[in-house]
């Protein structure tokens, strides 16, 4: 019975590692990020799970990660490459930027890792 429990725990750890892209994000100090005026700084950030992202579903960019209905600071189009600066720690939101400056937040569910993105028919990244 102990062996079966050990196998279950090992399998669970492998699934968890795969779900998180193989590694948990390292902390990024909030003060080390350049954030545009009007964008609310989160209390904690971590490295994004993937190196590059593509917009999988068109979405607005919001000025705050914690409140729906906040100001829209921009839009991302389907297939557009995104500069993912940091993942908001404890939230499923990504700080996206232009030229190294955070312009707002998008839900991670709207993005796909660049190496896993498959463009819909007729859409080029």
Is 121 a domain residue? Answer: no
The 10s digit of each residue's pLDDT in 61-116 is 999 998 777 899 999 999 999 999 999 999 999 999 999 999 999 999 999 998 88
Is 17 a domain residue? Answer: no
Please tell me what DSSP assigns to residue 108: G
Is 63 a domain residue? Answer: yes
Count of domains forming the chain: 1
Is 43 a domain residue? Answer: yes
Q: Does residue 99 sit in helix, strand or coil?
A: coil
What is the Cα gyration radius of the chain?
17
The 10s digit of each residue's pLDDT in 78-90 is 999 999 999 999 9
Full-model pTM: 0.75
Is 91 a domain residue? Answer: yes
- The CATH number linked to 98 is 2.30.30.40
């Amino acid at each position: 019975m102990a062996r079966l429990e050990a196998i279950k725990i090992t399998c669970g750890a492998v699934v968890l590692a795969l779900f998180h892209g193989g590694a948990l994000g390292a902390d990024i100090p909030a003060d080390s990020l350049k954030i545009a005026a009007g964008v609310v700084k989160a209390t904690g950030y971590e490295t994004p799970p993937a190196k590059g992202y593509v917009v999988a579903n068109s979405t607005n960019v919001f000025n705050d990660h914690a409140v729906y209905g906040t100001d829209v600071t921009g839009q991302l189009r389907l297939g557009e490459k995104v500069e993912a600066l940091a993942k908001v720690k404890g939230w499923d939101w990504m700080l996206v930027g232009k030229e190294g400056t955070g312009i707002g937040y998008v839900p991670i569910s709207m993005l796909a890792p660049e190496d896993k993105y498959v463009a819909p028919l007729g859409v080029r990244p």
